[in-house]
Structure formats: structure tokens, C-alpha cells
């Protein structure tokens, strides 16, 4: 797995770094990981509510869409790596990964981090 991560496209790593880097503690990394675990429709899109369960499991506390909705919007912005793109109207907004390879990349990152924290 480590070799697969090391060989990942540079653009994926750069976007991930932009999305998660901060001087303050934040949950962008967890939100991204939860997005990668969210159930998607036939078009590869998910709703914020689809992220609630995986994010709650990652953080160990109940999370509702209104607590991380701004994170999803920000992850569509270039300043946060432009990892997601939004589809639909404001109240019916869905999201998907701009680069389809980001989802497996994030899952590998999560797996590697979990492995590292167990040792």
C-alpha cells in the first residue's frame, strides 16, 4: 500500500495537502475521508447527509450535515485543493470528486494512517 501511495499522482497529493493543511486544528481531513466512504449514486455523487455516518464514526461523535456543510463547500474551492465539485441547487446540492482517483487515494491514506497509529 505504501508503494501505491508513493506512486500516486502528484496532483492528488498536492490537492490533498491544500485541502488539509492549516495552522489551526480542523476536520478537513476527516471530512474528506468520510466523503470517500460515503454511499454514492449511479453518477458518483453524494449528499451531505451521506457523509454524516462515516464522519461520525471517524470522529467518535455524532455529526450532522450542518456541522460540516461549509467544509464541503470549501473543498470545492481552489484554495482547498478543489477536490470536490458541487452539482444541483443550494438545498438539493450533491457533491462528487473532481478526479475519480481521489476516492481510492483517500481510502489508502486513511488505511495508512490507521495502520501508523496502531503501532
Each of the 119 residues of the chain gets a pLDDT tens digit; together they read 666 666 667 788 889 999 998 888 889 999 999 999 999 999 999 999 999 999 999 999 999 999 999 999 999 999 999 999 999 887 789 999 999 889 999 998 888 877 766 65
- What pTM did the predictor assign? 0.86
Strand locations in 1-119 (E): 84-87, 94-97
Question: What pLDDT, on a 0 to 100 scale, did the predictor assign at position 118?
Answer: 62
Domains in the chain: ranges and CATH: 2-118 (1.10.10)
Q: Sort 92 into a burial class: Cβ within 10 Å, 0-12 / 13-18 / 19+.
A: exposed
Amino acid at each position: 500500500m505504501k508503494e501505491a501511495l508513493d506512486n500516486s499522482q502528484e496532483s492528488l497529493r498536492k490537492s490533498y495537502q491544500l485541502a488539509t493543511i492549516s495552522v489551526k486544528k480542523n476536520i478537513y481531513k476527516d471530512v474528506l475521508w468520510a466523503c470517500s466512504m460515503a454511499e454514492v449514486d449511479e453518477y458518483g455523487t453524494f449528499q451531505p447527509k451521506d457523509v454524516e455516518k462515516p464522519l461520525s464514526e471517524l470522529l467518535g461523535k455524532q455529526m450532522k450535515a450542518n456541522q460540516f456543510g461549509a467544509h464541503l463547500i470549501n473543498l470545492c474551492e481552489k484554495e482547498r485543493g478543489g477536490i470536490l465539485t458541487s452539482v444541483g441547487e443550494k438545498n438539493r446540492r450533491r457533491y462528487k470528486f473532481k478526479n475519480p482517483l481521489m476516492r481510492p487515494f483517500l481510502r489508502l491514506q486513511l488505511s495508512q494512517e490507521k495502520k501508523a497509529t496502531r503501532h
